[in-house]
Structure 1
């Protein structure tokens, strides 16, 4: 069994003088928006500054002036973006970015990034970038080109762990494991003091968490199975500072760190370039709207030979007469 943990992500900022996404938009609208990408809302929390929806495939966060949505699996997030543009109106949108990672099982996806951009380009003009090498971990990003200027204090971070240790994978796939046990294993009390937490354990395994405090958020999504393990952390709190904790707990063979407007990215990630991990990819740019983006991929060089993975014709990589 495999599940595509790699996420598609959209961030949309609107003109608060024209609309409040918290006050003027009903939950029914968000339900339909989520359904458009073939996901469902499982639960929600609200602290007055941010509303967080836990989805069957990742998360949706809504503030007065912006939204963030991440979806995984075989969802088509671009359909939800299209729904938002058509119903809210292009004139109310100040900024939009659409991001898509390389997938483990790209052949199983209903669309690729270029398909998504062709669909988006019917509504918005933008620039397209690739962060990272084509033969390794990389992110594609679409940026709506307009006169918007980013706030330097608008920061966000992603930490993504791949191929976690056998010990971590075994624990996270334990039958009957509780949300509390997963939170304890990930030491979340260290980074989530006084946060409102909404989390869910999927069957047979998998875990999602949303946490909010004032305008701060953290979302975690765990795909723990050994053949495609993937754990993502996304937040507007500094995840680079917590990276040593995540690495110690998960012992991944590789991990990515991506940030928007972290101007000390190089200095903060330097310690990881002096450990057993090697920085395979380092990318930096500033978008026309002022957002500074950094992307780094770290790998743990292998020194021992391992056995190949035995596959079946009906298993991973061979469904629908397609191969990896």
Structure 2
């Protein structure tokens, strides 16, 4: 693509975008090549594979535990912005290094959006998010996402000193056109075999009906250590709030016996730090309403390719109203297709749309609980979100997954620092112990069932209880 570079600021975020002028309206019909974004999908005929491959790799349990281990790491001019002084951990990796990694996946960076907590990259095929301690890479089409794993491990070793991943998640919906994928991604069995070579203790699952839409997920970890200073058996080293054995274990489990044992046996006094909630909601949609999808074609909501066209789509479709207080970075493709990354606080959301009628697909993923109306930890909040998203796309069917950490530390740590002086005999020590035990027990309960979604009937429901996460899965079809 040809275009001019520019910088824009939206809300509390700043981003760089590539804008391509296009003043001629395109007819809204499917073309033989469903993606002309100059990447791996060039020449891909017949249909475009919308369902994404999603990889999430953690190298520490919290942001502040991820300290850059490369003394020579410096941000170059390209990486300088208003958040430069706040970057740490993986956010100090130069953008050129990330682009090199993305070449292995066959993706290109279209634009970036940043705030004080994380960096997002809008890709030619989906999205990439970088926190100090973890990254999330989501790619569609015939991209080769898993081939990035060795390179990501090398980058984490250089910049964090990580000896391994702290925990890993890989997931995807069943493909529409599996035979079109590169060899590695043509079957779930091949993907799992490849993942097992890097993560021997990983576990693979297929969730949902084998003869209908279903979802694959691979989990690994969390492990005891991955970074220098994170504790294994040595309880005398690194007893800061982030590195203490108590806090490290609280991030990994909320078992009453584990918490009780740590409080009773630890000889370390520490303040429990704040940690963000770890809840992710995905809404994956097929059979999109053709009338609603007209906005996703060049000449529909806009005749401008790129970020200007993307903003027009946000306004025309109601997408902008889902998280009105967020900063967003969106892109309208030629001849059709739409992508968006949004940031709000320490959370992100992302949308990707393939509007062609014979392969229509849209994904919506979020970690943002904006208010009581969209509370990702409540059935009502998830219902409100699903109905709002479904109203934008009008899908015939949709899959909803809610992934939530067990014993989420957000409630344990809420609003104040609890001093855990295990050798103390005062009232504060007893109250701290009681609060920790109570919060851990209360939080580790079965998440509420999905509420009915207006206009849809539930075809499939699954609840998984993993060692460290809860997963709720539901599949809906449009009611007659």
Give TM class, smaller chain: 0.7 to 0.9
Map of 1:235 onto structure 2: 366
Report the equivalent of 1:97.
169
Q: Distance in 1 between matches of 2:278 and 2:137?
A: 16
* Aligned pairs (5 A) from 1:177-216: 177=302, 178-216=309-347
Instruction: Name the structure 2 match of 1:315.
Output: none
* Contact 1:169/1:229 (8 A) holds in 2: no
Decide whether aligned partners of structure 1 residues 145 and 74 sit closer, same or farther in structure 2, where only a CA change above 3 A counts: same
**Bigger mean CA offset, 19-28 vs 72-81:** 19-28
Aligned residues of 1:82 and 1:120 also touching (Cα < 8 A): no
Q: For 2:448 and 2:361, how far apart are their aligned partners in 1?
A: 24
Whether the 8 Å contact between 2:398 and 2:476 is mirrored in structure 1 is yes
- Which of the numbers 248, 258, 270 marks the counterpart of 2:451? 270
C-alpha distance in structure 1 between counterparts of 2:336 and 2:214, whole Å: 26
Total equivalences in the alignment:
298
What residue in structure 1 maps to residue 472 of structure 2? 294
* CA-to-aligned-CA distance 1:54-113 (integer Å, 9 cap, x gap): 000000000111111100000011011232124424624211111122111111011222
Query: What TM-score does the superposition give when structure 1 sets the normalisation length?
Result: 0.85
Cα gap change, 1:82 to 1:281, in 2 (>3 Å)? farther
Counterpart selection for 1:6 from 51, 54, 72: 51
Q: Is the 8 A contact 1:40 1:56 kept in 2?
A: yes
**Is contact 1:59-1:70 (8 Å) kept?**
yes
2:130 to 33, 49, 62: 62
Question: Which residue of the partner structure matches residue 395 of structure 2?
Answer: 252
Does the C-alpha gap of structure 1 residues 207 and 29 become closer, same or farther in structure 2, counting only changes over 3 Å? same
1:199 Cα deviation after fit: 1.0
Q: Which residue, out of 56, 68, 79, partners 2:147?
A: 79
Is this contact kept in 1: 2:460–2:474, CA < 8 A? Answer: yes
Note if contact 2:298-2:335 (Cα within 8 Å) is conserved in structure 1. no
SS of 1:153's partner is coil
C-alpha separation between the residues in 1 aligned to 2:367 and 2:286? Answer: 21
SS in 1 for 2:402: strand
1:252 is paired with a residue of what secondary structure? coil
CA shift, 1:180, in A, is 2.7
TM-score (norm 2): 0.58
Per-residue CA shift, 1:16-63, capped at 9, x if unaligned? 345444443111221111111111111112112110000000000001
Instruction: Show the counterpart of 2:217.
Output: 141
Contact 2:169 2:219 in 1 (8 A): yes
Q: 2:52·2:141 contact (CA, 8 Å) conserved in 1? A: yes
CA displacement at 1:213 relative to structure 2: 2.2
Distance 1:9 1:205 in 2: 23
Provide the secondary structure at the position in 1 that maps to 2:452: helix
Within-5 A mapping of 1:20-169 = 20-89=88-157, 91-110=163-182, 111=185, 112-125=187-200, 126-147=202-223, 149=252, 153-169=277-293
